[in-house]
């Protein structure tokens, strides 16, 4: 029987649970404090080691086991139908190339950090970090915001569903980055929308109330999808913590995820994105609206209204040059 000690991640939080895993009779049994389940071996994937100290066993539902016991995992991989030793060797070989590439990337990150400072490091790191990290940071940030600054939406369910359906219909026709649309009420955020790492787009009741047309809400969501597409919120979080933590994050330290998530809400509210990031998100929104046959002026309309509202502390007006930003949206005549 193969037995090994591991850290178990439940796929919902970034907390590590120490567990023992044992493979027998076609199953992997995982036991620990309050944890006892078994997964059929043909439903797990053992990731070959990629130069890190610990290997990862992927379980269904984004659950993972991280273990330093390589010999046990190698044996385990032999039991799995899809990962015969030949395949394992092949993967190791390709992983070696991957490890070399990762080394080069790491050196570049350090070089970029020295040469151009933290924003550049954050940019490189945001493209290097695995997607699950975005998701975890986003989930933790949302949990934190739900506890502190957001409350459940007071919009009628039918209103929310209508907006969700309109967005889904547009995204079915053209590629949108993977997203999850959520509605929340928030006095702190006012009329606002924000994109969290991992693709969660939060729209406030205030923004829906401010809109004169559903297309205006969709236009703001399109802008947020631009932030999602370019992983801006992850970059924002990374920039705030500095190069040291970024390097720790690149090596896969779970604790740093919590650090990154903790700072994000106030960053989104107070610091906001850089002008360049806003420009990128605007360009995405403009192309999106044209393809969706929504007059780009809808974005200008609601942005102008946000700008006129002196009580609003929202993201959209926290950047100077609203007039400059909306000009391209007014210049476009709509779809052909």
List residues near Zn ion by CB under 5 A.
Answer: 278, 281
State the Cα–Cα distance between residues 247 and 52, nearest whole angstrom: 14
Burial of 298 (0-12, 13-18, 19+ CB in 10 A): buried
| CA atoms within 13 Å, Cβ hemisphere of 297 | 7
Q: Which residues of 81-109 are buried (b: 16+ CB within 10 A; e: fewer)?
A: eebeeeebeebeeebeeeeeebeeebeeb
HEC-encoded secondary structure of 244-305: HHHHHHHCCCHHHHHHHHHHHHHHHHHHCCCHHHHHHHHHHHHHHHHHCCCCCHHHHHHHHH
Rounded least distance, CB 13 to Zn ion, Å: 28
Nearest CB to Zn ion, comparing residues 137 and 281 = 281
- Strand 64-67 versus strand 55-58 pairing type: antiparallel
Nearest CB to Zn ion, comparing residues 278 and 317 = 278
State the Cα–Cα distance between residues 137 and 234, nearest whole angstrom: 8
Rounded least distance, CB 187 to Zn ion, Å: 21
Rounded least distance, CB 274 to Zn ion, Å: 10
Rounded least distance, CB 25 to Zn ion, Å: 53
DSSP 153: -
Nearest CB to Zn ion, comparing residues 28 and 150 = 150
Rounded least distance, CB 8 to Zn ion, Å: 37
> Structure tokens of 310?
């002196």
Nearest CB to Zn ion, comparing residues 222 and 238 = 222
Nearest CB to Zn ion, comparing residues 215 and 278 = 278
Nearest CB to Zn ion, comparing residues 129 and 281 = 281
Nearest by Cα to 308 from 298, 297, 317: 317
Nearest CB to Zn ion, comparing residues 56 and 201 = 201
DSSP 42: G
Rounded least distance, CB 265 to Zn ion, Å: 15
Alpha helices, DSSP H only, in 80-231? 85-116, 118-128, 131-148, 157-173, 205-210, 214-229
Q: E strand or H helix at 193, and its extent? A: strand 193-196
Nearest CB to Zn ion, comparing residues 66 and 235 = 235
Rounded least distance, CB 223 to Zn ion, Å: 6
Number of residues written out for the chain = 336
Rounded least distance, CB 166 to Zn ion, Å: 20
């Amino acid at each position: 029987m193969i037995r090994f000690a591991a850290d178990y991640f439940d796929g919902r939080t970034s907390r590590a649970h120490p567990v023992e895993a044992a493979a027998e009779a076609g199953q992997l049994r995982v036991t620990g404090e309050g944890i006892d389940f078994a997964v059929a071996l043909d439903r797990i994937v053992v990731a070959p080691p990629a130069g890190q100290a610990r290997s990862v066993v992927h379980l269904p539902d984004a659950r993972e086991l991280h273990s330093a016991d390589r010999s046990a995992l190698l044996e385990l991989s032999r039991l799995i139908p899809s990962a015969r030793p030949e395949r394992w060797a092949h993967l190791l070989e390709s992983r070696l190339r991957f490890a070399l590439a990762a080394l080069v990337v790491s050196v570049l990150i350090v070089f970029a950090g020295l040469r151009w400072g933290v924003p550049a490091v954050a940019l490189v790191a945001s493209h290097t970090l695995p997607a699950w990290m975005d998701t975890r940071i986003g989930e933790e940030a949302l949990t934190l915001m739900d506890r502190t600054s957001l409350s459940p939406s007071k919009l009628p369910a039918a209103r929310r569903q209508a907006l969700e359906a309109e967005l889904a219909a547009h995204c079915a026709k053209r590629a949108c980055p993977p997203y999850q649309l959520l509605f929340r009420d928030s006095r702190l955020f006012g009329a606002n929308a924000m994109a969290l790492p991992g693709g969660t787009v939060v729209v406030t009741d205030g923004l829906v109330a401010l809109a004169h047309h559903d297309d205006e809400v969709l236009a703001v969501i399109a802008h947020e999808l631009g932030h999602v597409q370019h992983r801006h919120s992850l970059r924002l979080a990374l920039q705030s913590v500095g190069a040291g933590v970024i390097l720790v994050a690149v090596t896969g330290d779970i604790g740093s995820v919590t650090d990154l998530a903790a700072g994000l809400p106030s960053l989104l509210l107070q610091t906001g994105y850089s002008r360049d990031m806003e420009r990128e998100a605007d360009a995405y929104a403009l192309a999106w609206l044209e393809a969706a046959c929504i007059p780009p002026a809808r974005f200008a309309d609601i942005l102008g209204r946000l700008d006129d509202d002196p009580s609003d502390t929202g993201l959209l007006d926290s950047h100077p040059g609203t007039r400059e930003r909306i000009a391209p949206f007014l210049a476009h005549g709509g779809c052909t």
